Every structure is written in structure tokens, then in C-alpha cells.
Structure 1
Amino acid sequence: MTTEHTPPPQAAPADALTGRPLDLTRPRRRLGDYLIDANLLTQEQLQDVLARQQKWHSRLGDVILASRLMSALQFYTELAHHYELNFVNLMEHHPDETLFEAQHIQDYLRHLVLPWRRQGDALVLAVADPDQDALDWVHDHYGDNVLFVGTGKFDIIWTLQEIGDEQLTDHALGALANLKPEQSARTVITKGQIVALCLMVLVIIIGMVIAPSKTLMILGILMSLIFLISFGLKFLLAWQGSRHRIDVKVTDEDVAALSDKELPIYTILVPMYKEPEVLPILVNALRNLDYPQSRLDIKLVLEADDTDTIDAAKQMGLESTFEIIRVPPSMPRTKPKACNYALQFARGELLTIYDAEDKPEPDQLKRVIAAFRKSPNNVACIQARLNYYNADENWLTRMFTLEYTLWFDFYLPALEHLRIPIPLGGTSNHFLIDVLREVQAWDPYNVTEDADLGVRLTQLDWRVGVVNSTTFEEANVSVTNWIRQRSRWLKGYMQTYLVHMRNPIKFYRMTGGPGFWGFQFFVGGTVLTPLLVPFTLIPYVVWLCTRTTMFDDLFPPFVMYTNLFTLLIGNGFFIYLTLLASFKRRYYRLAPYALTVPAYWLLQTIAAFKGLWQLISKPFYWEKTTHGISKQTEIEREAALDNQTPRTP
């Protein structure tokens, strides 16, 4: 219904900061017509927005902002005037911090309202999006003696980050560590584990003093058993993975059957640090998602001192779908801490994480929703497949691609089928956000946070599914960069193993026999086998090159031949599996590179020792992987910049 237009208040400058009553029942002209009169929309643009609003089943303002038809400042200024409120820029006119109540941060965020100042005996609140729900909360909490000024959504968010940074940071760091300290890596190793380790070392030392040959023989046999059991588990996983699928098959018809009106708000976290050069790739990919833009809640999670990336994001003219979450400096500076911080601002029912250089397929979010609807109620996470857009760039990227193929096509299905705790990957995991909050999200002290989260979910009987959608990202092209990344992953596996083996009996009861032993040799074996490689490889290489007899007393023939057998059968097995992975995905061009697997796993040994050293010297240090160094990434960046469309004036 068209009603009489109420013009914006023409207050004198002295009155520009005064609060006013807010009456939502007063008849007003439609917002779209109001914006046309303000010369911010044309009639044609309004018709297009109304059509999208009907299709997306979203509020008009959300559609306007998602369509990049005007800046957020312009929109929220006019929205305030539409409700006869003065508009206040909170960046220039800061709230009275004594009015701030830290325990109500989530209420402020949910209603986009914030206590601003006192005006006489009345409390003035800044509100970005006046609606009845926000007004009811204000009156319930503050009573009726309240006035209002208008402000912008981003003003509320940024002000809360500034005023509430201590509380928000404390929650991001301490939610898991304080509520469930036994599941947090904040304590690197417990006293009981130190005692057990010292006793083990003491036994070895005593054995070497009393009976060195027998001690070395026993150690050699134990090493061989560890290798053989680890290889045997990988063989079992490959066999089971080839026979069982956990993929939730989502067809194009399933995606087409989803109505935009029924789609939930979807939160996307993009943690970044000093990566302005790859930002256009992700922004372009997210803009191309086949999902109502007004129902996306995208958080660019940036460190507050990363001014280069923050400035690059601001200069891109991002629509209001994108929000910059500035994480205050605190230790440890890790990706999970940043994600925990941003999670407090999340509005979605579902949540996923993308890395800065990721390119998810356009219909991935819809496929995930369809997959959840087809899955049992205890599925808490749907994993999209990962692949690389620069797989053929060099030897390292080819090996990386084959390794990930082996993981997604064989290991992951088998782990889920056998109910062995799954170490999730770090990107394109799609979570039910209520479950994520229930388990206290990520451990900020664990540098392989999703691996740890996957183990915790399995213990609580939550399951993981895989959807037939792919996220393409940049494979590591540099050996030094690869070692930095892999050493962090392996250090995180060490942290995860130590955390969940604090109470082995309890862990056994929660995961069962297959889960317990699978965890020992899949997670524990992943870090232990590369650390043991030098002790089996070096004596054999020295003997092979020199035919020396110096090892005869130290390593009896039985031990030498056992280690040699383990070495050969292990490498042969991984070559076979890698070949299998290349054939499964029809990567025939990559098949010859399977023969170089031993060299690839030698790099793993280097990374493992580096990770062990960092676990001892700086356990919470996040060794950053440098992105954007691939030649293909520059091509992707140029293509993304070419696809940028300017905001409609």
C-alpha cells in the first residue's frame, strides 16, 4: 500500500546527533519508492530488485546491498531517514563504552543494535536495521525510556570488535580450553605422558648398557612392526575404500529442485594473512556461486595488523555480503583462533571455510544442502573434494595431486566406513553450525585444527559425508614452501595424538577397537613412520655403498633383512597405491610419477623432523604457507580481475 511520504528530517547540525523515538507502526512510503526519490535507484533497477526479492524470499534491503546498487553507507543513511532517525557514523561518533554489556554481544549482533549514549534520562541506541524483533528486545532489556539513531551494519560490527575485543578474544582462545581442558592442546604434553616417555627412554638406555645387541634387535623388530602395521592399515583402507563409498550422490536434478526461498543463510569464513594478491580469485569465485547473494554471510577473517590485505579488500568495492572481521593481535596467532573469533559473528545455519586461493564449483553450497537432506541425522560435516588447478606445473604439484586423490578416493571412505576418527582437511568442510558451536569449534592451540575437530566429532558419534563437488586450489609449487606447510600439518598430527591419548582407556571406550587402533596407526603412524625412516634407510644405504661390516654386531642379519624387506615392500606398496589413484581418476599423464613416490616421502621425513622440533621449541607457532606463487595463480588472478564488474551507480 502506498502511503504519504515522510521526508527525511531536516535537523540543524546541532540536532544531528539527537536520538528520536522509533515507531514502526507509522505508515510510510515503500522503501523502494523512497530510494527512487533519493536518486539512489531507478525504476528499472527497483523492478529488478523486486523480482530478485520474490525469487530469493529476502528482505528488500538485503537484496539491494547484495546487488551492489549502492554503497552500504548510502543505503543505511537513507534507511535511517526513512524511519525519521538521524544517521550517526559510529567511527566518528563513538559510543559511551560504559553502556556496553559484554554478556550481550551476541544480542547486539543478532539485532544489529548497540547502546550509544545518554540523552537526558533516556538511553539512545544505535540501530542499523529497525524491525519489530530488535525493538522488542530493546524494550524487554532496557524498558520504554529509549531513543534511537540510525547507523550502518558495518558500524555495529566494527564497533563491537573494538569495544568487545577482549571478551571476543577470550572466548576464541578459551572456549574449548576452559570448558574441556582435556581436549585442548594448550597443554602440549601432560605429566603422565612425560613420565611414560621418560620411562621408555630409561628402559632403552638400560638395555643398551646391559645388552646392546639384543636391545637393538628388539628396537629393529619394533620399528619393522610399526612400518608393517602402518602399511597394512593403508592397504586395508585402500581395499575398503575401493569397495565402499560415503559419497552422497547429488544429481543436477536434486540441485534444480531446491527452491531459493527455502535455502538457509550460509556463512563462509575466509581466513587470510598477508595475501592481498589472491583475494580477487576468491571474491570472484564467491560472487559466482549459484546461491542467493542475500543469503550469503561471507566473513573475510583478517588480522588487525594486516593492513595490506584489509586495504585491498576495501578497495575492491565489496558488497555487503562480504564483511571484514579484524582479529585483534593475541597469541597464539593461528587460523583456528581467527575462525573461532569470526564464528561469534556468524549468522548462518551452515558454515564452511575456504582458503584465499580456493575456487569452489558454483553449485557447491546447494549440493551440500541436498547432501545433508539425504544424509542421516548424525552427519555433522559434509566434505567437498579438493583438487588443483595447477596440477601439471611441476613434479611437486603432480605428487600433491596424486596424494590428495589417494586420500579422497580411498582413505576417507574407508575411515568413515570403519568408524576410524577422520582427520578432516583444512578447507571446504561444511558444518552444521549448531553442532560446531556445541563441540566448541576449533582448538586455537592446534595447528592442524580440522584434524583434531574430526577426531572430536567421531568420539561424539557425529559422522562425516563427502559430496560430489570439487574445490580447486593452488598446489604447492615450492619444496621449501611445501616443507613449511607439511611440517605444520605433521606437528598438528602430533598435537592431536598427544591430546587424545591422554586417557587411552576413555578414548578406547568412545571409539571402539577399530577406531582406537586405527587412530594409533593412521594418525600416530603418519608422524612416526617418517621419523623412523632414517634409522632403517641410512644403515642400508651405507651398507649398499660400502659393503661395510660395521653394522653386523649392532644389527643382526635377521633385523637387517627385516628392515630391508619393510623398506622395499613399503615403497613398492605406495608406488602401487599411487598408480591406482592415477588410474581411478584417469590421470594417466601422472601415472609415471608414481615411481618417484620414495623421493616424495623423503621430503615427508624432513618435514616430520622439523615439525617435531617445533613441537618442542614453539608448539603453537603457525608456520604460514605462502600462496599465490604459482604461475597458474597469476593467470587465475588476471581472469578474476577481468571478471570484476563495477558497482552500478
Structure 2
Amino acid sequence: MAELTAADSWTGDFLADQGLLTAEQLNEAELLAERWGTNLPDVMLARSWFDADTYFQLLADRFNLEYVRLGEQPADPELLQEAEVSAYMEQLTIPWRRVNGRMVVATARPGPEAIVFCRSRWGADFDMVITRKGDIQAAVQTVFSARYSHGAVFDLAERDPVMSAQTVFMPWQIVTAWLVVTLAALALIAAPVPTLILLNIIMSVFYLGNFVFKGVLVWAGGLQQDNRARELDAAARMLRDEDLPIYTVLVPMFREPDVLPILANALRSLDYPTAKLDIKIVLEEGDHETIDAAVALGLEEVFEIIRVPPSQPQTKPKACNYAFRFARGDYLVIFDAEDKPEPDQLRKVVAAFNRSAENVACVQCRLNYYNRDENWLTRLFTLDYSLWFDLMLPGLERLKVPIPLGGTSNHFRMDVLRELNAWDPFNVTEDADLGIRMTQKGYEVRLVDSTTFEEANVSQSNWIRQRSRWIKGYMQTFLVHSRRPLHLYRTIGFTGVLGFVFFIGGTMMSGLLNPIFWGIFAIWFVSQTGIFDLFFPPILLYISLFNLLAGNGMFIFLTMLAPFRRNWLQLTPFSLTVIWYWMLMSVAAWKGAWQLVTRPFYWEKTEHGLSKHTADEVAKASIKQGAAI
């Protein structure tokens, strides 16, 4: 354990003498500071035992320094340097003003580290004032807001344009698509039957490959998971609190004030030193309802509100691009507003990074739902996610195929995130794109057996809005990363390309093509017409029947297996109704394809808080919130 410094001990005694702390609170704070390897003020502010303004004012009085609120006495913008922002946020110290030729520095963490930092930047000739941590972040945001707002939208497009979805279709892609359609039309006019047979063969082989590939993924994904999970559990338990790094948590929200108590309670429940959490609630500047709700909660000092300036496109990745500039952590994770991560998730991720090679840049945790038994849709959605995260993604990892990340519970190394210009604000499935982009840049993604539970959609129309955005994003991702086929092959290899085609391409194409084949089969089954016989010669007929019966039967069987790892066997019978779920996916796929052409960057908002479980969760969280303040 780290030992308290004399300054920390004096600070605690001073606050107790001033009546801000009880003897019991002081004793608890000292024990936590030693165990966590952090300073005493951080622990006390994380516990929210007293008003931060009162604390910083008393701290300034103790050191005979001035206490300033930077909102009322702003920093000189000429003194702040953009290249130093990460250091400012890490040290919670910025240059404030020059007074009589001397640099005056504002800090929220006075002490030896701040003095060493200041001397390394401005020499020994400086003075110091005290301010709040939130004021440091707000001051930096005020000075660099315009630059960061522009960068949040355009950094990737300007620095690595070939990897940006800002250009939806490259000219050669448009020309190629036009040539394919023209040649197909001419072939249909000249030789309609052979052309339709050829098209039928291509689609049948694609379906067969898709079935086989995903079956292999499930087989590979089920191997040795339990042993890895036990090893990681043991490694996570061995980590000492004092050795854990600062961890940034980004929570992008938009018009979701009702779920804020759930979020705050879930993050408080993390088994991680609270004083080492850097939690940023990321809100749109115009979302006054959610901003007011967040302020009214009176959250602890580890929570900060980042207000994202208005700009287009108004997307989650744009907001994250803006907010991550203010991150203090070595690692960064994104949680959605309604997420409930398992308490030991951050510890497991740190252990996973410690045990991984240097080129591992991201750890993806599993996602699933806490309201899985609410209605038919939540049950099928849970089966879908269980198959995806518990079986298919582990298969991708084992086969070394690029992993399209999920939309939340992605844990990143901050240095790599900065190197890759973070997320693409023009891609509406930004994390799937980033997972593929990381692999092309030589980095790897690892999976960790820790689950974040979310609210499953209870409304089919709301589900279609969400799924159509996901599929549109997969289409954008496929278009972006297929722009340089040879580069893609060189960077991810043959297996990687195969996986990319079937996992990204197959997911979107099957949704688009399914209605066509279902329609053909329905017409044939009802009318027993022989009109399709010309287009299904015997061998092709057998392949098509195999795809229809064995392929779809295999997917139903895999869906039945999906809940076994979690012992949610009550969901298994609902696997037999998955065909209607696939129909909804086709509706979403066609909607996504239409929006790709008409509104490619439109972020279709998913409404949260519709579940009957949410009211109970909010009530429980509000009680705990009241106890925490």
C-alpha cells in the first residue's frame, strides 16, 4: 500500500478541524487513499462528503493562495497550448495569467506533483492559485472549443480520407456498380435464362458460404472460453488498487434525462478505486433537459459534464471525438446511458491489457439485456446478442478475423485512439468501423468475458429504427474498407478478407436478399408452378434447397444453443419463432439501404426507457443516489 504524505495527513486533520469531516469519514478516507494509491483530497471529493467549493476555498486559505472560479475570472487563452491539453487534464493544472511578469498557474491539485509539472513547463518563477477540477476542464474547452468541434467532425476525413465515410461512394465504386448493372441488363436481354441461372448460382454460393462460415465461427468460438475466463478472473483479483491506472469513462447521451440515476448508480457500483475514475457525461449543448437533470443530481467530483457544441453530423461518434480530448485516463471505455456493466469489468480489462501483446489496442466486453423476459422481441433480441457476443465474436478472435466492435463497452488504449483519429463521425456504426480500421493499422482486439447489461428494445418500430442504423453503418463500413482491395488483403490476410466479406457483407446482404428468395419459395409452394424450373437446374436446385432447409435450420439450431452459456434455457423455445425476427431484419436492411442513398449520415435515435423494468431501475437508483449525496 502507498503511504499518505504529510501534506495529505495535514489536509485531512485540517478538514476534520473545520467540521467538514467526521472522525469516521477521515479514517475511511485515509484507508482508501492508502489502498488506492492516490491522494486524500481525491478520495474525499470522490465520496462527495462536502461541497467542492467549500473544500477548495479552505484549501486556498490553508496555503494562503487565492481561490478563483475560472468562469468568472477566465484564463488567458494566449497562454494555453493545444499540444499540452492532455498534460493539463492529467495534472489538473493550467497556465492562468501573467501578473507583473510572473506566470500564475491555476491548479485543482496543489502539491509536489503540480510543482514539478509547473517547473518543467515554466521554470521556478511562477505563482499558484486554486480552482476546481471542473473549472480546469471548462477553461480548456472554452479556449479550444472551435478547434475541437472542427476536429471532432473532420480530423479523420482530413488526415486519413480513404478511411472516412464522409465520401459515401468513391467514383470508381459508382462506375463499377453502373457497369455491373448495365452488363447484367444487357445479358438479361440477350440470354435471359442463362443470366438468371448465373445470378442464382452466385447468390446460392454466397448463402452457402455464409452458413458455413458462421457455423465455423460458432464452433471456434466455443473452444477454451471457460479456461481463459478463469485465468483472467484470477489475474484481475491479483491486481492491487494502487497499481490500477486512471480510467476514463465516456457516457454519450441525448435526450435521456430519466435514465441518469441508473447510469450514476451503475458507475458507482464498479469495483474500481473511485478516485481513479474520470467519468464524463457527454451531452449536446442544446440538450438542456438532460443537462439540467445531470446538474440537479449533484454528482460527485469524479463526474464531469462535457457540452458538445452544435455541428453536423449530430452523431454519437462526433460527440465522443469531442469529449475524449479531455480524457485523463490511460484507458477509455464507452458506456451507454442505460448500461449496467458487471462491477469487475474494468479490473478484468486492465488485467487483459497487462497480459496482451503491445499491439492489442482494444478490449471488447460482451453485451446482453436485463429485461430479456419482457416480451417476444426482447427474448429474440437476447438470443441474437447471445449468439453474436458469446459465440460468433469469440470465433472471429480465435480465427484472427477483424472484429466489428459493438456500440458500447469497448475499452481502448488512449494513445492508439489518438493515433487513429478516434471514431468516424460520418459512420453510424462507428465502433464496427473502428474495429476493422484498427486491424488494418496493425492492431488487435481482444474479447473479455465480462458483460454489460442494457435495455432491450420492447417496441418493434423502435427496434427497426435501431437495426436499420446498424445495417446502414455496416454498408458504410463495407464501402470504406473495400475501397482498396489489395491493401485490405495485405493488411488482414485471406482469412480476414473472407471474414470481412461474410461477416460484414453477409450480415447486410442476407437481409436484403432474403425477401426475394422467400417470395420465390412462397409462390412455388402455394401455386406449385413450374415457371421457376428453368432457373433451377438439378444441382442448383439441391444447393438452394440445402440453403433453405439445412442452412436456415442450422441458424435456428445455433439460436437455440445461444442461451446455454448463460443458462437462460427459458429462451430456447422462442428460437423456433426466429423467422419473424429475420423478416424484421429485412425490413430494417431495406430501410438502411434507402437511407444510405438519401440520408447517409442521419443518426436515427433509439428511444430508451420504454421498458417497464426501467421505472423500477430508476426508482432503485434514485434511492441510492440520495444515499450517496
TM over 0.5: yes
TM-superposition CA deviations, 1:411-463 (whole Å, max 9, x none): 11211121111111111122222232233222222111111111122223433
- Asked if residue 228 in structure 1 is aligned to residue 208 in structure 2, the reply is yes
- Tell me the CA shift for residue 120 of structure 1: 4.4
- Asked if residue 264 in structure 1 is aligned to residue 240 in structure 2, the reply is no
- Tell me the CA shift for residue 629 of structure 1: 0.7
2:513 aligned to 519, 532, 541, which one?
A: 532
Q: TM-score, normalised by structure 1?
A: 0.90
2:187 aligned to 184, 207, 225, which one?
A: 207
TM-superposition CA deviations, 1:354-394 (whole Å, max 9, x none): 11111111122222222333334443322222221111111
Aligned pairs for 1:269-348 within 5 A: 269-348=250-329
Distance 1:333 1:53 in 2: 41
Aligned pairs for 1:116-515 within 5 A: 116-139=96-119, 141-142=121-122, 146-245=126-225, 247-250=228-231, 253-515=234-496
- Tell me the CA shift for residue 96 of structure 1: 4.0
**Matched-pair contact (CA < 8 Å) for 1:304–1:327:** yes
Query: Which structure has the larger Rg?
Result: 1
- Tell me the CA shift for residue 550 of structure 1: 5.7
**Matched-pair contact (CA < 8 Å) for 2:97–2:103:** yes
AA in 1 matched with 2:478: Y
Q: Secondary structure at the match of 1:298?
A: strand
Distance 1:358 1:325 in 2: 19
CA distance 1:370–1:196, shift in 2 (3 Å): same
Higher mean C-alpha displacement, 140-149 vs 311-320? 140-149
**Matched-pair contact (CA < 8 Å) for 1:424–1:453:** yes
Distance 2:115 2:74 in 1: 22
- Tell me the CA shift for residue 138 of structure 1: 4.2
Distance 1:545 1:192 in 2: 43
2:611 aligned to 630, 637, 641, which one?
A: 630
Structure 1 gaps, min length 5: 1-25
Which structure carries more helix by proportion? 2
**Matched-pair contact (CA < 8 Å) for 1:249–1:371:** no
CA distance 1:243–1:252, shift in 2 (3 Å): closer
Higher mean C-alpha displacement, 537-546 vs 386-395? 537-546
Distance 2:146 2:421 in 1: 18
- Tell me the CA shift for residue 254 of structure 1: 3.8
**Matched-pair contact (CA < 8 Å) for 2:366–2:390:** no
| CA root-mean-square deviation | 2.5
- 2:576 — aligned with what? 595
**Matched-pair contact (CA < 8 Å) for 2:8–2:41:** no
Paired-residue identity, %: 51
- Asked if residue 46 in structure 1 is aligned to residue 26 in structure 2, the reply is yes
**Matched-pair contact (CA < 8 Å) for 1:382–1:465:** yes
- Tell me the CA shift for residue 321 of structure 1: 1.0
Distance 1:303 1:551 in 2: 55
Distance 2:267 2:347 in 1: 13
Q: Secondary structure at the match of 1:644?
A: helix
AA in 1 matched with 2:196: L
AA in 2 matched with 1:90: L
- Tell me the CA shift for residue 98 of structure 1: 4.6
AA in 1 matched with 2:407: G
TM-superposition CA deviations, 1:18-63 (whole Å, max 9, x none): xxxxxxxx99992223323433223332222212211211111101
Kindly tell me the number of residue pairs found equivalent between the two proteins. 623
Distance 1:99 1:375 in 2: 40
**Matched-pair contact (CA < 8 Å) for 1:574–1:597:** no
Distance 2:511 2:7 in 1: 72
Distance 1:139 1:591 in 2: 64
Distance 2:124 2:223 in 1: 65
CA distance 1:462–1:118, shift in 2 (3 Å): closer
**Matched-pair contact (CA < 8 Å) for 1:76–1:152:** yes
- Asked if residue 78 in structure 1 is aligned to residue 58 in structure 2, the reply is yes
AA in 2 matched with 1:164: F
1:92 aligned to 72, 75, 79, which one?
A: 72
Distance 2:220 2:628 in 1: 52
**Matched-pair contact (CA < 8 Å) for 1:537–1:567:** no
Structure 2 gaps, min length 5: 1-5
- 1:521 — aligned with what? 502
**Matched-pair contact (CA < 8 Å) for 2:86–2:328:** no
- 2:3 — aligned with what? none
CA distance 1:566–1:162, shift in 2 (3 Å): same
CA distance 1:521–1:109, shift in 2 (3 Å): same
Q: Secondary structure at the match of 2:405?
A: coil
Q: Secondary structure at the match of 1:164?
A: helix
Q: Secondary structure at the match of 1:291?
A: coil
- 1:613 — aligned with what? 594
